[in-house]
Amino acid sequence: MMNHTRSVNPVLFQAFEWHTPSTPPTPHEKFSDSSHWARIKRLLPGLAPLGITAIWLPPGCKANDPCGNGYDCYDLWDLGEFDQKWARSTKWGSREELDAIIQSAKELGIDCIWDAVLNHKTAGDATEVCWAVEVDPDNRCKDTCTPKQIESWLQYDFPGRDRAGMPYSTMKWRAEHFNGTDWDERSKKGAIYKIVDGPVSSNPLSRIAGKIKRDLLGKPGKDWADDVSNIHGNHDYLLFCNIYHKNPEVRQDLLKWGQWMVKDVGVKGFRLDAVQHFSYNFSREWVQHVQRSGPVFIVGEVWTHLTWRILEWLDKVGPTASAYDAPLLCNFSRIGEDVRNGSPNADLRTILRDCLVTVRPDQAVTVVTNHDTQIGQTSFTPMYTPLKPLWYAFILLRKDGYPCVFWGDLYGTQGPHAEPPSCIKGEKKLIPELLRARQLFAHGPQTDYIDDAACIGWTRNDPEKGCAVVLSIAPEDETSTKKMKIGTSGEMWMDLLGDREVCIDNNGEAEFPVSGRQVAVFVKKQELSPLEFDLNCGI
């Protein structure tokens, strides 16, 4: 895997949640104190000392409407710079505010990772007539009608950018640039429509001759991408106007955009949205293209509990890309729900079962929650809140994986299912404490003690910057201990998150205690300055 950051123990911070509020500049302004871009800029100086080395920014391209989060992408080349779709700025802020974030982050040694939506577009500027077939939603390889003409919003003229002379890219998108859509304006019907080549003639023999000619030229008729996930028969189509990556104009425009984002805008990496829904071969081509100019971090979103499906994408794209370890997150959820429900199946020994970080430790981005798994979202995954500190300790203090901290766990979430910040223990804010522990003490070879259903531990054995970590899912009124070898006889070790101390015995071992449903992080006894982190600073 490529070096995605300069830090020994890097940390990625997801700098948004699904319901993050933002009041961007008005069309006649370039800055607003209430935009999310402005908020992030205020927070950066407080995040850097915690060891945050990169921030994952939301997809700040022009969306379907001014409140769109960006996954409803309209124009990749408009980062809040052109007056189109009823606003100049995006929901997140203006291009000028984005530039200010990237510059401030650079000065603080923090990389900006951009959320790139390369699978689809939405909110075309005009309709266009094309040929299409409806497909079975449960089997997209199965046509449910003969080819027919539909009228869909497939014409993208980008009038705001057009008035400015079409800077950055002159491409205007038409029906030939898509292979799927979800709406027929003529019939006012929503469905999954696969856009196909129109018949060359009403004569059946002529149509057959046309197909033979296309095949001989190596130009088969338009279809779904054949190198995608096989869920629903073929998972190329996700939503909106599905981009046809075999089209040469499409390929060149998307490749050029990626290079522009790195060289001109200044991002240091990309989170690729929904990569199981577009050509794996194009993903490889795109990744190789943007990495030609230097180290560019790439993480693909293949959201599944099946590690082999993630490996399919990684093996195709190559070793310079990463993927989220969704199976590990699912294990956190499974164990947490067993604890919540009092199930005897709760077993910490299964925490690494079938995980990406186990088989590809250098390509796994480890997460506890994100904007898609938070409550109310499409991939909602229940996460028992009292155990979140255990899971954050697991991703932050072990040697494998690239951990990602979620905005909602540090600052809380908004919306209909709003939640306060998680991982609070009395006066201690545990995520900042664990981040500091990762910086200072998560060093050296690792020894695992994953040998008990209710209590596990591990050590990091650097002589000066090591730690001993213990996790327990036992009842809250129970104290468990884990005998682990670390340190030197006679040394006193203290729990960073509590007030317990232990003494290393003559064998270089100690019984490290932890209360039920808690985590303890022991380090060599020393004076540490109080950690000051204001959850409301800059919000």
What's the pLDDT at 198? 86
Single out the catalytic residue among 253, 273, 312, 409. 273
* Band (216; pLDDT cuts 50, 70, 90): very low
Domains of the chain, first to last: 126-243 (2.40.30.140), 445-524 (2.60.40.1180)
* Band (221; pLDDT cuts 50, 70, 90): confident
Mean pLDDT of 410-434: 95
Nearest Cα residue to 59 out of 44, 47, 76, 45: 76
Q: What sections of 29-169 are H helices per DSSP?
A: 36-47, 95-108, 159-163
Q: What is the DSSP letter of 138?
A: T
Tokens of 84: 């189109």
The amino acid occupying position 470 is V
Is the pLDDT confidence value at 205 over 80?
A: no
* Band (209; pLDDT cuts 50, 70, 90): low
Distance, first Cα to last Cα, the chain: 35
Long-range contacts at 474-478 (CB < 8 A, ≥ 24 apart): 474/516, 474/517, 475/516, 475/517, 476/515, 476/516, 476/517, 477/516, 478/515, 478/516
Identify whether 301 is a catalytic site residue: yes
Identify whether 134 is a catalytic site residue: no
CA separation for the pair 91, 498 (Å, rounded): 41
Single out the catalytic residue among 128, 134, 301, 433. 301
DSSP track, 221-244: PP---SSS--TTS-----SSEEE-
Tokens of 449: 């003690």
Please identify which residue in the block is written with the tokens 């190198």: 227
CA separation for the pair 366, 364 (Å, rounded): 6
CA separation for the pair 175, 178 (Å, rounded): 6
What is the pTM (predicted TM-score) of this model? 0.94
The string of pLDDT tens digits covering residues 247-303 is 999 999 999 999 999 999 999 999 999 999 999 999 999 999 999 989 999 999 999
Residue 319 CB neighbours (<10 A): 12
* Band (400; pLDDT cuts 50, 70, 90): very high
The string of pLDDT tens digits covering residues 232-248 is 999 999 999 999 999 99
CA separation for the pair 126, 124 (Å, rounded): 6
